[in-house]
């Protein structure tokens, strides 16, 4: 029998004092049956006695804005804890720098590791560790649990390619979300079959599509590099009218005790002119490639000499005066490396998206 240990993520190779204090608990004996002594009967938890890392950069409004109250929606204005359960990536070299780049408040991000009966570290296993995980969620008032990747946490006795088997691990997660009020976010990968429906491409049985209340798909258009996020399932609402969102992976440099860490930062770039389903279903034709050249020339002229313009106005002019679609314009923007940012230029200082070319693009064109 094992147990779970929760603690803040630490950067570099800190000493125990730098990482925080450990509250000890009696270990569960290996021979103790789960029914007689649940995982929670004795566990070690670590909570930071000082900030786990340097002050993070300003939040950018994405998912980890949950930790600093900037995530729009139900929890806006309320700082909430996040539980990150990772299997494949290194906390020191990958996850912590990425979380900092995302603007997460590292005092409210916790990592969970499994400690086996003999004291060795193992992987959080579902559904075996569900009870302990639920207790941690409630004790730390966690509102987001990230399982990265979900498939690697399914117990070895479960065949993930059989719906009935897979539901033994997934149904309890849905019940845990209802019981605790936390978002359970499982990260999964596409399989290699051909389909335009991202939900059916999730590796494993159909249970991975049927059990979640919502599914978000991500894809990169191989023709122009544009990245898109689309919600492909919403059991609690209507998908009609929901826009797909474009996003970029921007380089970010995070200072660490062992030197700068170079990571990617996820940034939204406004509404996309295509969906993940569009990307999975088609590629550029010869005619579309010529249209892209026309759109590229148009952008170079409009944004020459360091000028910037409202995205809305550029899209309207491109379509009405030159017959350039939004999708083609987005491809041209990507090819030129155009940058988009929000500015308080709308009515009552409402945010508007503006686009401009980097200095390198203007210089090379001159």
Domain residue ranges in the chain: 3-214, 284-365
pLDDT at 285: 65
Residue 194 CB-half CA count within 13 A:
2
Token pair in block for residue 127 = 């559904």
pLDDT at 39: 21
Low-confidence ranges of the chain (pLDDT < 70): 1-2, 7-62, 119, 194, 283-286, 360-366
Residues 6+ apart with CB under 8 A from 286: none
Name the CATH topology of 284-365: Arc Repressor Mutant, subunit A (1.10.10)
pLDDT at position 365 is 52
Determine the pLDDT at residue 284.
57
pLDDT of residue 293: 87
pLDDT, residue 326, reads: 86
Q: Beta 81-86 vs 142-148: how paired, if at all? A: parallel
> What pLDDT score was predicted for residue 18?
28
């Amino acid at each position: 029998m094992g147990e779970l240990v929760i603690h803040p993520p630490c950067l570099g190779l800190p000493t125990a004092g730098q990482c925080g204090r450990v509250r000890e608990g009696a270990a569960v004996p290996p021979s103790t049956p789960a029914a007689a002594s649940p995982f929670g009967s004795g566990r070690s938890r670590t909570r930071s006695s000082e900030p786990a890392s340097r002050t993070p950069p300003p939040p950018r409004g994405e998912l980890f804005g949950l930790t600093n109250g900037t995530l729009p929606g139900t929890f806006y204005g309320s700082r909430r804890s996040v539980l990150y359960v990772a299997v494949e990536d290194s906390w020191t070299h990958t996850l912590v720098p990425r979380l900092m780049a995302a603007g997460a408040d590292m005092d409210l991000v916790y990592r969970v590791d499994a400690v086996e009966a003999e004291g060795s570290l193992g992987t959080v296993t579902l559904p075996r560790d569900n009870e302990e995980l639920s207790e941690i969620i409630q004790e730390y008032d966690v509102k987001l649990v990230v399982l990265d990747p979900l498939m690697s946490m399914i117990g070895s006795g479960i065949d993930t390619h059989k719906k009935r088997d897979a539901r033994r691990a997934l149904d309890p997660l849905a019940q845990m979300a209802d019981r605790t009020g936390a978002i359970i976010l499982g990260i999964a990968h596409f399989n290699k079959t051909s389909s335009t429906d991202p939900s059916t491409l999730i590796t494993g049985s159909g249970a991975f599509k049927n059990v979640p209340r919502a599914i978000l798909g991500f894809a990169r258009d191989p023709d122009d590099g544009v990245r898109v996020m689309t919600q492909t399932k919403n059991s609690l609402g209507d998908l009609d009218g929901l826009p797909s969102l474009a996003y970029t992976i921007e380089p970010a440099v995070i200072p660490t005790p062992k030197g700068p860490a170079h990571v990617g930062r996820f940034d939204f770039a406004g509404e996309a002119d295509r969906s993940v389903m569009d990307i999975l279903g088609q590629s550029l034709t010869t005619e579309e490639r010529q249209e892209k050249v026309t759109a590229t020339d148009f952008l170079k002229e409009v944004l020459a000499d360091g000028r910037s313009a409202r995205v809305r106005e550029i899209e309207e002019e491109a379509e009405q005066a030159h017959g350039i679609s939004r999708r083609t314009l987005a491809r041209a923007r990507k090819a030129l490396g155009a940058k988009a940012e929000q500015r308080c230029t709308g009515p009552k200082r409402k945010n508007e998206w503006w686009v401009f070319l980097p200095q390198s693009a203007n210089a090379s064109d001159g």
